[in-house]
């Protein structure tokens, strides 16, 4: 089994370019199904979830070619409308293919996603919205069978601003007759990136990034080239790591406006952060002051995916830090692993209270999920001695060339086979 071996203690110094965003490339790969031509996606990160999405596209009949960070998708000859169970299981967010396949083929058959490491992952909002657009849905032998005689635009008010449901509606609505208005839509930057891809491919869409999005169903005609936005969660991971262990990092192509809540928290804790255009520079002596309560909320609030790494960075901060998780029920599984390294963290439901200690020590720990695994990497970089992190496959879902990137900044990190 693969493990990451990290000997902590050194500072991180250097510069790096932020990889393309996983949560942007996945819905855009699904969107490429709607294009009656070729899509070229640039800046695609090399990740297990991206490989899984490409396998789904190939299964449907798309021709997909990967050249370095570019992915070329030719969707002219789609022949199938089903995603088999084994492919669905490879990627948690494969439900994002539902709206796109339904829109393109008039029928979609997907197996039902189960729960995941972050707790139950219901898709009721996705299904309700597709039904409102004119889809008939039934559950047959563990599959969702979704059919339509023709989608028709309508007003959809999401009960909560779900990122995935907003994306699914956008994709289906592009193929609907007439106008669809989504209210209480998610406002995450990944929604804006998806809208930019759709617009470049010929869709008429406005309001992405705000709570009301309007889509005129007109289909997607044009072949297009689109550059995937930088991954704000990966950027936040490296910023948190430098804040924690000390050092100096220049993050290039990081889109600072996506990271405002994290930058504010790190500045308040004593880090020096300079923003210049798309780049962010951070300097830290590794001695963080008290961090004010961190409360996760939908964008533009503090991102749930950035919280685990900031929590790891706070374990040696002055005083106590309070974290409140409002998005996922089961986000704190990595806390038990941090405790093995000596961290003092009390958990009660959605609240974690971290009491700063003087030192962490290396230990054998396991990644429990993607961002929890990244938090263990951050902790290990600032711990005394060696940490071995197992279940690395969780981390590989979201971080392209993690060891090479951190190694380039001076970290002592290697992947071993145990
Ligand atoms: N929810 C429902 N019903 C639904 C849909 C969502 O109850 O039909 C609930 C979820 O259970 C959750 C909350 O609403 O408690 C938010 O879910 P949302 O739909 O917004 O999240 P998602 O689309 O499943 C995406 C990212 C997540 C990220 C969240 C929140 C992708 C592929 N995934 O998930 O990323 O945490 O938005 O920002 O875009 C990660 O990258 O590690 C990750 C988990």
94-112: pLDDT as tens digits: 899 999 999 999 999 998 7
Residue 331 has pLDDT above 80, yes or no: yes
Place of tokens 């971080």: 399
SS3 85: helix
**Catalytic residue list:** 116
| Per-residue pLDDT tens over the stretch 280-325 | 999 999 999 988 999 999 999 999 999 999 999 999 999 999 999 9
- Nearest-atom index, ligand 1, CA of 186: 20
143, 110 in Cβ contact below 8 A?
yes
203, 174 in Cβ contact below 8 A?
yes
Q: What number of residues does the chain have?
A: 418
CA 326 – ligand 1 centroid, Å = 11
| Per-residue pLDDT tens over the stretch 50-97 | 999 999 999 999 999 999 999 999 999 999 999 988 888 887 788 999
Q: In three state form, how does the secondary structure of 394-417 look?
A: HHHCCCCCHHHHHHHCCCEEEEEE
Largest CA-CA distance found in the chain, in angstroms, rounded? 64
CA 412 – ligand 1 centroid, Å = 33
Average pLDDT over residues 254-269: 97
> What residue owns the CA closest to ligand 1's atom 37?
163
DSSP state for residue 34 in the 8-state scheme: G
> What residue owns the CA closest to ligand 1's atom 20?
162
CA 189 – ligand 1 centroid, Å = 14
Name the more confident of 89 and 266.
Answer: 266
SS3 149: coil
To test the pocket of ligand 1, the residue of 28, 144, 163 to mutate (highest count of ligand atoms within 8 Å of its CB) is: 163
| Per-residue pLDDT tens over the stretch 116-126 | 666 667 899 99
DSSP states of 249-318 as a string?
EEEES--GGGGHHHHHHHHHTT-EEEEETTEEEEEE-S-------EEB-STTSB-GGGHHHHHHHGGGSS
Tell me the whole-structure pTM to 2 decimals: 0.97
What per-residue confidence (pLDDT) applies to 330?
Answer: 87
* Sequence-ordered list of residues with C-beta below 8 angstroms from that of 190, at least 6 positions apart, any chain: 21, 23, 24, 27, 163, 167, 229
> What residue owns the CA closest to ligand 1's atom 40?
305
> What residue owns the CA closest to ligand 1's atom 13?
327
């Amino acid at each position: 089994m693969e493990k990451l071996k990290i000997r902590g203690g050194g500072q991180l110094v250097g510069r790096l370019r932020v990889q393309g965003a996983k949560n942007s490339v996945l819905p855009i790969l699904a969107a490429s199904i709607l294009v009656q031509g070729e899509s070229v996606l640039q800046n695609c990160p090399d990740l297990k979830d991206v490989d899984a999405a490409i396998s789904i596209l190939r299964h449907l009949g798309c021709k997909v070619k990967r050249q370095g960070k570019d992915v070329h998708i030719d969707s002219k000859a789609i022949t199938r409308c089903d995603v088999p169970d084994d492919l669905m299981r490879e990627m948690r967010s494969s439900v994002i293919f539902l709206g796109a396949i339904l829109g393109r083929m008039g029928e979609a058959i997907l197996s039902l996603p189960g729960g995941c490491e972050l707790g139950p992952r219901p898709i009721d909002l996705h299904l309700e919205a597709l039904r409102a657009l004119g889809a008939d849905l039934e559950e047959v032998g563990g599959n969702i069978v979704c059919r339509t005689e023709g989608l028709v635009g309508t007003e959809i008010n999401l009960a909560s601003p779900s990122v995935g449901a907003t994306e699914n509606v956008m994709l289906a609505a592009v193929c609907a007759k007439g106008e669809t208005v989504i209210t209480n839509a998610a406002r995450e930057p990944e929604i804006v990136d998806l809208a930019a891809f759709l617009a470049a491919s010929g869709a008429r869409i406005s309001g992405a990034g705000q709570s009301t999005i309007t889509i005129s169903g007109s289909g997607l005609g044009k072949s297009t080239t689109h550059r995937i936005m930088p991954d704000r969660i990966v950027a936040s991971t490296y910023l948190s790591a430098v804040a924690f262990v000390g050092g100096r990092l220049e993050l290039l192509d990081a889109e600072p406006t996506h990271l405002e809540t994290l930058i504010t928290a790190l500045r308040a804790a004593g880090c020096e952060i300079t923003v210049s255009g798309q780049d962010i520079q951070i300097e830290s002596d590794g001695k963080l002051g008290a961090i004010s309560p961190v409360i996760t909320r939908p964008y533009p609030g503090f991102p749930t995916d950035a919280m685990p790494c900031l929590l790891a960075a706070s374990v040696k901060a002055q005083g106590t830090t309070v974290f409140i998780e409002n998005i996922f029920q089961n986000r704190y599984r990595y806390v038990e692993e941090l405790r093995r390294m000596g961290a003092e963290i009390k958990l009660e439901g959605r609240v974690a209270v971290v009491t700063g200690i003087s030192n962490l020590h290396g230990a054998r720990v396991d990644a429990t999920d993607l961002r929890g695994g990244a938090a263990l990497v951050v902790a290990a970089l600032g711990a005394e001695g060696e940490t071995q992190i197992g279940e690395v496959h969780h981390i590989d879902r979201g971080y392209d060339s993690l060891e090479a990137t951190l190694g380039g900044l001076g970290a002592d990190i290697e992947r071993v086979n145990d």
